[in-house]
Every structure is written in C-alpha cells, then in structure tokens.
Amino acid sequence: MKAIGLESPLTCSVVRSLRAGDEVLVSGMVYTARDMAHKRLCDLLTAGKDLPFPLKGAIIYFVGPSPAGPGQVIGAAGPTTSSRMDDFSPRFIAAGLKAMIGKGYRSKEVREALREYGAVHLATIGGAGAMLSRHIVSAEVIAFEDLGPEAVRKLQVVDFPAVVAYDSYGNSVYDR
C-alpha cells in the first residue's frame, strides 16, 4: 500500500478522505502535548484564553521527548499512550483540532467527536523513538517550559510515518 502524504495544517476534506488502516506520512508543523499540558490547555479554553498555538487544522503529537544529545535537534520522540488524553481530546476536536498522533486505543467519546467534527487519530510505532526522531527537523518549546519533557513543543516533521487508527467515520483499525 502506498502511503498518503499529509501536510499540516489539515483541511476537513483531506481528513474526510482518510480511512482507518491508511498509511500516512505527515509533514509540516505538529504540536506536542501529553497529560499535564492537556490539562493546562483545557483550563485555558475554559477561561476563554488563547492557546499557545492555533488549534484550527492542527495536529497534536502525544510525546514527551528525551533531551537532544550533542548536535541533535531532539532526542528519542515516540508516542505515548493516547487513552490518557481521552478526557481532554473531544474539547480540542470541537475547537478545530484535526489530528492526533499517539499509540493505542481511544474512547467512545473521542471516536464520536472524530465523526462529528471530522478529525482522525493516527498511530505510530511505540518504542521506536530513536527511528521516529529522524523525521523531526526542528523543535522549539513554545509553552509550559516548567513541565520539562511535558512542555508544549512545536516540531517540524518530514514524512513522519503513521497509520490512520481511527477515521472520521467511526471506524478503527483495532476493530478488525
């Protein structure tokens, strides 16, 4: 199967063209956020404040990278378990988030939000953080620096490999 190139920010029509099981190569900007960052981003939304990055069309990558070694842009940078973000993701999806990258299962509520608003969940290889980091060409902390590995980073990625784990029609690659 030939992988589909995805360029961020994503449009609704691109997202709706994807089906569970499609292999994709993501390029462009993605934003990192995991547990604590999700909590804080949600608090900002509740307070009606601006987020540190535009959600419309955005891709959030669930990752807490290891520190960059000498001459490196970033350290290992593979996905963390997506289900820990289940309570938060529907709010971001409703506010324009178009894709998430992680590993493992998503809740019924997340699947419903993906269907209703037109978004996808992508899975990449957990435990392949060294290999995946080679697809990241720049990294910059843009918020919550005090969270260390959990800070929000803006990453530029090139041909970052993933598979559509949950599409915008209620299908999942894990259901097969």
Partner 1 sequence: MRRIEFDTIAREVESLCIAACYELNDDVLGAIEQAARRESNPTAAGILKSMVENAHVASEQRIPLCQDTGLTVVFVEQGADVAVKPPADRRGATLADAVNAGVASGYEKGFLRKSIVGDPLNGRKNTGSNTPAVMHLTVVPGDKLKLTVMAKGGGCENKSQFKMFKPTADREEIIAWVVEAVRTAGADACPPFVVGVGIGGDFELSCLLSKKALLRKLSESNGDAFYAAIESDLLSKINALGLGPQGLGGDTTALAVMIETAPCHIASLPVAVNIECHSHRHKTAVI
CB of 95 to partner 1, least distance (A): 25
Q: Can you name the residues that pair with 68 across neighbouring β-strands?
A: none
Q: What letter represents residue 42's amino acid?
A: C
CB 78 within 8 A of CB 129: yes
Candidates 60-68, 109-117, 137-145, 152-160 — which segment interacts with partner 1 by CB under 8 A?
A: 60-68
Q: Which residue lies nearer to partner 1 by CB, 90 or 129? A: 129
The answer to whether 149 contacts partner 1 (rule: CB under 8 A) is yes
Whether the CB-CB separation of 105 and 126 falls below 8 Å is answered with no
Q: Look at phi and psi of residue 12 and say left if phi exceeds 0, alpha if psi is from -120 to 50, else beta.
A: alpha
DSSP assignment of 87-105, as one string?
Answer: TTHHHHHHTT--EEEEBS-
Q: Which of 15, 33, 38, 100 is catalytic?
A: 38
Binding of residue 141 to partner 1 (CB under 8 A): no
The footprint of partner 1 on residues 65-84 (CB under 8 A) is 65-69, 72, 75-78, 80-83
Kind and range of the H or E run holding 113: helix 108-117
Where do contacts with partner 1 occur on this chain (CB under 8 A)?
A: 36, 63-69, 72, 75-78, 80-83, 103-105, 123, 125-131, 133-134, 147-149, 163, 173-174, 176
> Annotated catalytic sites, by residue?
38
